[in-house]
Structure 1
């Protein structure tokens, strides 16, 4: 019996260039336990990935802001407040850093993402004034409500699926995975993970990106 999984996407199921590693199509569709995709990306991204992998659509998106489990979507966080932060940030000379289409934020429902090229100090100052927080996922700065976390999203998933979070094995690479690592039974940070994720993980892997994730999955299949 293999355990259920909760997996980050970017930096965990991808390569160093951010491309989805094709090996996910070899291992995840045949995983004989639930697989939860937990990401900082907007809601449509993990839903689409589940669709193309042929997995049940059980996802935690926007760093815990949107959860889909058993066909029901729940939301946490204040999108209007996050937009107000973005507007004030821009009015004070900041830039979100995306093109006119802004596909990064177009479908976000609970937070706003800002390019890592942006003025971090100014963004954090503005967010603090609105009682919101900023986390650095390695892809973007995410402006979100306090208490909205992937780990909380997983607890909600488990309530619906009749699992305990401690049943799960997690793999991730970023600050936004630390809350997941704190609630699961076993957690792994890939070698390319940031310091926060490495500190929170039970084990730091020797390999990076999908190579590291695959090493965990192969080990679980053999145990």
Structure 2
């Protein structure tokens, strides 16, 4: 029997350009155990991906701010505080960096994401004034409530579905995956991962992006 998986999306199921690797459609729908998608993206993104992959909709979105398990959606984090911090950041000359449409935040329920080109020092200064934290996922700065993490979301999913987090294998690439690595039984950082993720992972892979993830999944199928 293969183990259940908790997988990041960006940098883990994608290529270096951020495009979803088509091999995900080959391996994940046939995985004979639960697959949880855990991401910093807004809630609709992993739900949509589950739909197109043909997976049950079990997701951890917005770095643990939104969790969907067994048809139940739960929220953690203060979107109003994050929005207030974002407004203050803009008032002081900052720019969220997404343009007027801002599709990055339009469907975001519990946090605010800011483009990596933004003034990081100013953003962190303002966030601290609102008692919020900023994490750098390598794709955006996320302004969020302290203590809201993917790892907490994984614990919630496991409670809902009656699984042991220690049974899960986690793969990720970023600071926001470190909490997941601390909860899952086994954890792997792809070679393109940041230093925080590499330090937290049980194993740092030689391959990057989806190549690294596939190497883990192939090994799990061969050995279990």
Structure 1: unaligned runs, 5 residues or longer:
none
Kindly provide the CA deviation profile for residues 19-50 of structure 1, in whole angstroms up to 9, marking residues without a partner as x.
00000000000000000000000000000000
Q: State the partner residue of 2:153.
A: 153
Pairwise CA RMSD of aligned residues?
Answer: 0.3
The total of aligned residue pairs comes to 223
Q: What displacement does 1:195 show?
A: 0.2
Matches within 5 A, 1:26-45: 26-45=26-45
Q: State the partner residue of 1:85.
A: 85
Q: State the partner residue of 1:115.
A: 115
Q: State the partner residue of 1:125.
A: 125
TM-score normalized by structure 1? 1.00
Q: State the partner residue of 2:67.
A: 67
CA distance in 1, matches of 2:207, 2:126: 37
CA distance in 1, matches of 2:133, 2:184: 24
CA distance in 1, matches of 2:91, 2:53: 42
Matched, 1:102 2:95: no
Kindly provide the CA deviation profile for residues 136-180 of structure 1, in whole angstroms up to 9, marking residues without a partner as x.
000100000001000000000000111111000000000000000
Paired residue secondary structure (2:46): helix
TM-score normalized by structure 2? 0.99
Paired residue secondary structure (2:37): strand
Structure 2: unaligned runs, 5 residues or longer:
none
Q: What displacement does 1:99 show?
A: 1.3
CA distance in 1, matches of 2:79, 2:156: 20
